[in-house]
Structure 1
Protein backbone atom coordinates (compact mmCIF):
# COMPACT_ATOMS: atom_id res chain seq x y z
CA UNK A 1 0.00 0.00 0.00
CA UNK A 2 1.40 3.36 -1.04
CA UNK A 3 1.40 5.94 1.74
CA UNK A 4 -0.62 9.02 0.99
CA UNK A 5 0.72 12.41 1.81
CA UNK A 6 -1.59 15.28 2.43
CA UNK A 7 -1.39 17.87 -0.31
CA UNK A 8 -0.53 21.35 0.69
CA UNK A 9 -3.03 23.55 -1.05
CA UNK A 10 -1.92 27.00 -2.05
CA UNK A 11 -4.39 29.60 -3.03
CA UNK A 12 -4.15 30.41 -6.71
CA UNK A 13 -5.24 34.00 -7.11
CA UNK A 14 -5.17 33.70 -10.90
CA UNK A 15 -5.71 36.92 -12.85
CA UNK A 16 -6.06 38.93 -9.62
CA UNK A 17 -2.34 38.44 -8.98
CA UNK A 18 -1.27 39.61 -12.46
CA UNK A 19 -0.53 43.29 -11.61
CA UNK A 20 1.43 42.34 -8.46
CA UNK A 21 3.33 39.65 -10.37
CA UNK A 22 4.23 42.11 -13.13
CA UNK A 23 5.45 44.67 -10.58
CA UNK A 24 7.53 42.00 -8.82
CA UNK A 25 9.05 40.87 -12.12
CA UNK A 26 9.97 44.44 -13.10
CA UNK A 27 11.50 45.14 -9.67
CA UNK A 28 13.52 41.91 -9.85
CA UNK A 29 14.63 42.61 -13.42
CA UNK A 30 15.68 46.17 -12.56
CA UNK A 31 17.73 44.93 -9.60
CA UNK A 32 19.35 42.00 -11.42
CA UNK A 33 19.98 43.98 -14.61
CA UNK A 34 21.73 46.60 -12.45
CA UNK A 35 23.82 43.96 -10.66
CA UNK A 36 24.57 41.57 -13.53
CA UNK A 37 23.59 43.22 -16.81
CA UNK A 38 21.03 42.17 -19.40
CA UNK A 39 22.38 38.63 -19.73
CA UNK A 40 20.91 37.57 -16.39
CA UNK A 41 18.88 34.35 -16.90
CA UNK A 42 15.11 34.56 -16.90
CA UNK A 43 15.11 31.82 -14.24
CA UNK A 44 17.04 34.13 -11.86
CA UNK A 45 14.56 36.95 -12.48
CA UNK A 46 11.60 34.63 -11.86
CA UNK A 47 13.19 33.34 -8.66
CA UNK A 48 13.95 36.87 -7.41
CA UNK A 49 10.34 37.90 -8.17
CA UNK A 50 8.97 34.74 -6.48
CA UNK A 51 7.04 33.72 -9.59
CA UNK A 52 7.33 30.78 -11.94
CA UNK A 53 9.03 31.13 -15.30
CA UNK A 54 5.62 30.52 -16.86
CA UNK A 55 4.25 33.60 -15.13
CA UNK A 56 7.28 35.61 -16.24
CA UNK A 57 6.79 34.52 -19.87
CA UNK A 58 3.08 35.35 -19.67
CA UNK A 59 4.01 38.96 -18.95
CA UNK A 60 7.18 39.25 -21.04
CA UNK A 61 7.67 36.95 -24.02
CA UNK A 62 11.31 37.89 -24.56
CA UNK A 63 14.29 39.52 -22.89
CA UNK A 64 13.77 42.53 -25.19
CA UNK A 65 10.16 42.90 -23.97
CA UNK A 66 11.37 42.90 -20.37
CA UNK A 67 14.27 45.26 -21.10
CA UNK A 68 11.90 47.67 -22.88
CA UNK A 69 9.55 47.65 -19.88
CA UNK A 70 12.44 48.47 -17.52
CA UNK A 71 13.65 51.24 -19.85
CA UNK A 72 10.10 52.59 -20.05
CA UNK A 73 10.00 52.83 -16.24
CA UNK A 74 13.40 54.57 -16.24
CA UNK A 75 12.16 57.13 -18.76
CA UNK A 76 8.99 57.70 -16.72
CA UNK A 77 11.08 58.24 -13.57
CA UNK A 78 13.23 60.84 -15.34
CA UNK A 79 10.19 62.67 -16.64
CA UNK A 80 8.48 62.67 -13.23
CA UNK A 81 11.42 64.04 -11.22
CA UNK A 82 11.16 67.62 -12.51
CA UNK A 83 7.45 68.03 -11.75
CA UNK A 84 8.22 69.35 -8.27
CA UNK A 85 10.65 71.99 -9.54
CA UNK A 86 9.45 75.42 -10.61
CA UNK A 87 12.24 76.69 -12.82
CA UNK A 88 13.65 75.21 -16.01
CA UNK A 89 17.10 75.17 -14.42
CA UNK A 90 15.82 73.07 -11.51
CA UNK A 91 13.98 70.74 -13.87
CA UNK A 92 17.10 70.25 -15.97
CA UNK A 93 19.33 69.60 -12.95
CA UNK A 94 16.83 67.11 -11.49
CA UNK A 95 16.42 65.23 -14.77
CA UNK A 96 20.15 65.27 -15.57
CA UNK A 97 21.09 64.07 -12.07
CA UNK A 98 18.56 61.23 -12.39
CA UNK A 99 19.97 60.21 -15.79
CA UNK A 100 23.57 60.24 -14.55
CA UNK A 101 22.60 58.29 -11.43
CA UNK A 102 20.79 55.66 -13.49
CA UNK A 103 23.78 55.38 -15.79
CA UNK A 104 26.18 54.87 -12.89
CA UNK A 105 23.96 52.74 -10.65
CA UNK A 106 22.01 50.75 -13.24
CA UNK A 107 24.12 49.85 -16.23
CA UNK A 108 21.04 48.35 -17.88
CA UNK A 109 19.77 51.90 -18.49
CA UNK A 110 22.32 52.24 -21.29
CA UNK A 111 22.59 48.52 -22.15
CA UNK A 112 18.87 48.39 -22.85
CA UNK A 113 19.21 51.01 -25.54
CA UNK A 114 22.31 49.41 -27.03
CA UNK A 115 20.96 45.84 -27.01
CA UNK A 116 17.50 46.74 -28.29
CA UNK A 117 18.27 49.74 -30.46
CA UNK A 118 16.39 48.34 -33.46
CA UNK A 119 13.20 47.81 -31.46
CA UNK A 120 10.76 50.59 -32.43
CA UNK A 121 9.59 50.85 -28.80
CA UNK A 122 13.11 51.89 -27.74
CA UNK A 123 13.24 54.41 -30.55
CA UNK A 124 9.87 55.83 -29.45
CA UNK A 125 10.99 56.07 -25.81
CA UNK A 126 14.28 57.67 -26.82
CA UNK A 127 12.42 60.29 -28.83
CA UNK A 128 9.99 60.83 -25.94
CA UNK A 129 12.82 61.65 -23.53
CA UNK A 130 14.50 63.88 -26.12
CA UNK A 131 11.23 65.78 -26.66
CA UNK A 132 10.95 66.21 -22.91
CA UNK A 133 14.56 67.40 -22.50
CA UNK A 134 14.67 69.91 -25.41
CA UNK A 135 12.71 72.71 -23.73
CA UNK A 136 14.11 71.87 -20.28
CA UNK A 137 17.69 72.16 -21.58
CA UNK A 138 16.85 75.41 -23.39
CA UNK A 139 15.45 76.92 -20.17
CA UNK A 140 18.55 75.78 -18.25
CA UNK A 141 20.78 77.39 -20.89
CA UNK A 142 18.78 80.64 -20.75
CA UNK A 143 19.33 80.76 -16.98
CA UNK A 144 23.05 79.91 -17.27
CA UNK A 145 22.86 76.55 -15.47
CA UNK A 146 23.75 74.60 -18.62
CA UNK A 147 26.44 75.81 -21.03
CA UNK A 148 25.08 77.50 -24.15
CA UNK A 149 26.97 75.19 -26.53
CA UNK A 150 25.61 71.95 -25.04
CA UNK A 151 23.21 69.99 -27.24
CA UNK A 152 21.06 66.96 -26.51
CA UNK A 153 23.57 64.88 -28.44
CA UNK A 154 26.35 66.15 -26.17
CA UNK A 155 24.36 65.02 -23.15
CA UNK A 156 23.80 61.54 -24.57
CA UNK A 157 27.45 61.21 -25.60
CA UNK A 158 28.42 62.16 -22.03
CA UNK A 159 26.07 59.46 -20.71
CA UNK A 160 27.58 56.85 -23.03
CA UNK A 161 31.09 57.88 -21.94
CA UNK A 162 29.97 57.67 -18.29
CA UNK A 163 28.58 54.21 -18.94
CA UNK A 164 31.93 53.17 -20.43
CA UNK A 165 33.76 54.38 -17.33
CA UNK A 166 31.42 52.45 -15.03
CA UNK A 167 31.37 49.29 -17.13
CA UNK A 168 35.16 49.08 -17.36
CA UNK A 169 35.99 50.34 -13.86
CA UNK A 170 37.86 47.67 -11.92
CA UNK A 171 37.24 48.89 -8.38
CA UNK A 172 33.77 49.90 -7.20
CA UNK A 173 30.80 52.11 -7.93
CA UNK A 174 32.01 54.89 -5.61
CA UNK A 175 35.32 55.40 -7.37
CA UNK A 176 33.67 54.99 -10.79
CA UNK A 177 31.18 57.69 -9.78
CA UNK A 178 34.12 59.98 -8.92
CA UNK A 179 35.54 59.43 -12.41
CA UNK A 180 32.14 60.14 -13.98
CA UNK A 181 31.87 63.37 -11.98
CA UNK A 182 35.36 64.34 -13.20
CA UNK A 183 34.37 63.63 -16.80
CA UNK A 184 31.22 65.74 -16.52
CA UNK A 185 33.14 68.61 -14.94
CA UNK A 186 35.70 68.46 -17.77
CA UNK A 187 32.85 68.68 -20.30
CA UNK A 188 31.34 71.65 -18.47
CA UNK A 189 28.23 69.69 -17.54
CA UNK A 190 26.51 69.90 -14.17
CA UNK A 191 27.42 67.18 -11.66
CA UNK A 192 25.61 65.84 -8.61
CA UNK A 193 28.26 67.37 -6.32
Structure 2
Protein backbone atom coordinates (compact mmCIF):
# COMPACT_ATOMS: atom_id res chain seq x y z
CA UNK A 1 0.00 0.00 0.00
CA UNK A 2 1.33 3.42 -0.98
CA UNK A 3 1.63 6.13 1.67
CA UNK A 4 -0.79 9.04 1.41
CA UNK A 5 1.94 11.63 0.82
CA UNK A 6 3.57 9.44 -1.84
CA UNK A 7 0.21 9.02 -3.57
CA UNK A 8 -0.37 12.76 -3.39
CA UNK A 9 3.05 13.34 -5.01
CA UNK A 10 2.35 10.78 -7.72
CA UNK A 11 -1.03 12.35 -8.48
CA UNK A 12 0.58 15.82 -8.62
CA UNK A 13 3.23 14.51 -11.01
CA UNK A 14 0.65 12.94 -13.33
CA UNK A 15 -1.40 16.15 -13.34
CA UNK A 16 1.69 18.25 -13.96
CA UNK A 17 2.79 15.91 -16.76
CA UNK A 18 -0.66 16.17 -18.31
CA UNK A 19 -0.31 19.98 -18.39
CA UNK A 20 3.36 20.30 -19.35
CA UNK A 21 3.25 17.64 -22.07
CA UNK A 22 0.07 19.15 -23.47
CA UNK A 23 1.86 22.49 -23.75
CA UNK A 24 5.31 21.32 -24.84
CA UNK A 25 4.99 17.77 -26.19
CA UNK A 26 6.38 14.46 -25.01
CA UNK A 27 9.98 15.66 -25.16
CA UNK A 28 9.34 18.37 -22.56
CA UNK A 29 12.00 18.43 -19.84
CA UNK A 30 11.04 16.27 -16.88
CA UNK A 31 12.41 18.98 -14.64
CA UNK A 32 9.52 21.17 -15.83
CA UNK A 33 7.07 18.45 -14.79
CA UNK A 34 8.65 18.13 -11.33
CA UNK A 35 8.70 21.92 -10.92
CA UNK A 36 5.01 22.20 -11.91
CA UNK A 37 4.14 19.41 -9.45
CA UNK A 38 6.07 21.17 -6.69
CA UNK A 39 8.40 18.23 -6.05
CA UNK A 40 12.09 17.50 -6.54
CA UNK A 41 13.26 15.71 -9.68
CA UNK A 42 14.28 12.75 -7.49
CA UNK A 43 10.66 12.34 -6.43
CA UNK A 44 9.63 12.19 -10.09
CA UNK A 45 12.21 9.48 -10.78
CA UNK A 46 11.16 7.48 -7.72
CA UNK A 47 7.63 7.27 -9.11
CA UNK A 48 8.56 7.15 -12.79
CA UNK A 49 12.11 5.77 -13.27
CA UNK A 50 11.97 6.37 -17.04
CA UNK A 51 10.23 8.95 -19.24
CA UNK A 52 8.19 6.15 -20.77
CA UNK A 53 6.72 5.24 -17.39
CA UNK A 54 5.34 8.74 -17.00
CA UNK A 55 4.04 8.80 -20.56
CA UNK A 56 2.36 5.42 -20.07
CA UNK A 57 0.51 6.89 -17.08
CA UNK A 58 -1.08 9.41 -19.47
CA UNK A 59 -1.46 7.26 -22.57
CA UNK A 60 -4.32 5.05 -21.38
CA UNK A 61 -6.47 8.02 -20.36
CA UNK A 62 -5.84 9.76 -23.70
CA UNK A 63 -6.64 6.67 -25.77
CA UNK A 64 -9.76 5.84 -23.75
CA UNK A 65 -10.96 9.44 -24.02
CA UNK A 66 -10.47 9.35 -27.79
CA UNK A 67 -12.36 6.06 -28.04
CA UNK A 68 -15.19 7.59 -26.02
CA UNK A 69 -15.40 10.46 -28.53
CA UNK A 70 -15.78 7.90 -31.32
CA UNK A 71 -18.46 5.95 -29.41
CA UNK A 72 -20.43 9.16 -28.81
CA UNK A 73 -20.14 10.03 -32.50
CA UNK A 74 -21.59 6.63 -33.41
CA UNK A 75 -24.62 7.42 -31.24
CA UNK A 76 -25.38 10.67 -33.09
CA UNK A 77 -28.69 10.45 -34.96
CA UNK A 78 -27.09 11.85 -38.12
CA UNK A 79 -24.10 9.87 -39.43
CA UNK A 80 -22.40 12.87 -41.04
CA UNK A 81 -22.83 15.06 -37.97
CA UNK A 82 -21.44 12.27 -35.80
CA UNK A 83 -18.38 11.92 -38.00
CA UNK A 84 -17.85 15.68 -38.12
CA UNK A 85 -18.23 15.94 -34.34
CA UNK A 86 -15.61 13.21 -33.84
CA UNK A 87 -13.17 14.85 -36.24
CA UNK A 88 -13.72 18.31 -34.81
CA UNK A 89 -13.27 17.18 -31.20
CA UNK A 90 -10.12 15.31 -32.23
CA UNK A 91 -8.77 18.41 -33.95
CA UNK A 92 -9.63 20.55 -30.91
CA UNK A 93 -7.65 18.16 -28.73
CA UNK A 94 -4.75 18.36 -31.17
CA UNK A 95 -4.79 22.16 -31.02
CA UNK A 96 -4.53 22.27 -27.24
CA UNK A 97 -2.69 19.06 -26.35
CA UNK A 98 0.57 18.29 -28.12
CA UNK A 99 0.99 15.07 -26.15
CA UNK A 100 -2.39 13.83 -27.41
CA UNK A 101 -1.27 14.49 -30.98
CA UNK A 102 2.16 12.92 -30.56
CA UNK A 103 1.11 9.91 -28.49
CA UNK A 104 -2.32 9.08 -29.79
CA UNK A 105 -3.01 10.53 -33.22
CA UNK A 106 0.36 10.39 -34.91
CA UNK A 107 1.54 7.19 -33.23
CA UNK A 108 -1.78 5.33 -33.47
CA UNK A 109 -1.07 2.77 -36.17
CA UNK A 110 -2.52 -0.51 -34.97
CA UNK A 111 -5.30 -1.60 -37.32
CA UNK A 112 -6.58 -3.79 -34.51
CA UNK A 113 -7.03 -1.00 -31.99
CA UNK A 114 -10.44 -0.16 -30.60
CA UNK A 115 -10.24 3.42 -31.89
CA UNK A 116 -9.42 2.27 -35.42
CA UNK A 117 -12.36 -0.14 -35.38
CA UNK A 118 -14.63 2.67 -34.18
CA UNK A 119 -13.33 5.04 -36.87
CA UNK A 120 -13.98 2.35 -39.51
CA UNK A 121 -17.56 2.11 -38.23
CA UNK A 122 -17.93 5.91 -38.42
CA UNK A 123 -16.73 5.80 -42.04
CA UNK A 124 -19.03 2.94 -43.01
CA UNK A 125 -22.01 4.56 -41.30
CA UNK A 126 -21.48 7.93 -43.01
CA UNK A 127 -21.00 6.21 -46.38
CA UNK A 128 -24.17 4.14 -45.98
CA UNK A 129 -26.01 7.40 -45.26
CA UNK A 130 -24.63 8.83 -48.50
CA UNK A 131 -22.87 11.66 -46.66
CA UNK A 132 -19.22 10.60 -46.99
CA UNK A 133 -17.52 9.98 -50.32
CA UNK A 134 -17.44 6.28 -51.17
CA UNK A 135 -13.70 6.35 -51.89
CA UNK A 136 -12.77 7.67 -48.43
CA UNK A 137 -11.30 5.16 -46.00
CA UNK A 138 -10.09 5.23 -42.43
CA UNK A 139 -6.56 5.96 -43.62
CA UNK A 140 -7.84 9.13 -45.30
CA UNK A 141 -9.24 10.28 -41.96
CA UNK A 142 -5.91 9.48 -40.31
CA UNK A 143 -4.16 11.71 -42.86
CA UNK A 144 -6.87 14.36 -42.36
CA UNK A 145 -6.10 14.41 -38.63
CA UNK A 146 -2.33 14.34 -39.21
CA UNK A 147 -2.54 17.30 -41.56
CA UNK A 148 -4.74 19.23 -39.19
CA UNK A 149 -2.36 18.55 -36.31
CA UNK A 150 0.40 20.31 -38.24
CA UNK A 151 -1.86 23.28 -38.99
CA UNK A 152 -2.83 23.46 -35.31
CA UNK A 153 0.83 23.33 -34.34
CA UNK A 154 1.65 26.18 -36.71
CA UNK A 155 -1.34 28.30 -35.70
CA UNK A 156 -3.48 26.93 -32.83
CA UNK A 157 -6.08 29.65 -33.33
CA UNK A 158 -6.71 29.13 -37.06
CA UNK A 159 -6.88 25.38 -37.56
CA UNK A 160 -10.69 25.50 -37.94
CA UNK A 161 -10.41 27.04 -41.42
CA UNK A 162 -8.27 24.13 -42.61
CA UNK A 163 -10.69 21.75 -40.92
CA UNK A 164 -13.70 23.24 -42.72
CA UNK A 165 -11.96 23.25 -46.11
CA UNK A 166 -10.89 19.63 -45.64
CA UNK A 167 -14.40 18.55 -44.67
CA UNK A 168 -15.66 19.79 -48.01
CA UNK A 169 -13.29 17.34 -49.72
CA UNK A 170 -14.70 14.41 -47.73
CA UNK A 171 -18.39 15.08 -48.21
CA UNK A 172 -20.32 13.17 -50.85
CA UNK A 173 -21.86 15.35 -53.54
Structure 2 unpaired stretches of 5+: none
Measured in 2, the distance between the counterparts of 1:126 and 1:183 equals 30
Equivalent residues in 2 for 1:115-130, closer than 5 Å: 127-130=113-116
> Which residue of 1 is the match for residue 125 of structure 2?
139
Match of 1:68 in 2: 56
Larger radius of gyration: 1
Which of these residues, 90, 94, 101, is aligned with residue 99 of structure 1? Answer: 90
Distance 1:152 1:60, change over 3 A: farther
The 1:178–1:86 alpha-carbon spacing in structure 2 relative to 1, beyond 3 Å, is closer
Q: 1:182 to 1:91 in 2, by over 3 A?
A: closer
Query: Equivalents in 1 of 2:125, 2:135: separation in Å?
Result: 13
Give the gaps of 5 or more residues in structure 1. Answer: 1-13
| Higher alpha-carbon deviation: 138-147 or 151-160 | 138-147
User: d(CA) in 1 for partners of 2:125 and 2:54?
Assistant: 34
- State how 1:159-178 maps to structure 2 within 5 Å: 159-167=145-153, 169=154, 172-175=155-158, 177-178=159-160
Shift of 1:153: 0.6
Q: Secondary structure at the match of 1:40?
A: coil
- How many aligned residue pairs are there? 167
CA deviation vs aligned residue, 1:148-171 (integer Å, no higher than 9, x gap)? 32211111111111122233x2xx
- Give the TM-score normalised by structure 1: 0.68
Relative distance call for 1:20 and 1:80 in structure 2 (3 A) is farther
Indicate the structure whose relative CO is greater, using CA pairs within 8 Å and at least 6 residues apart.
2
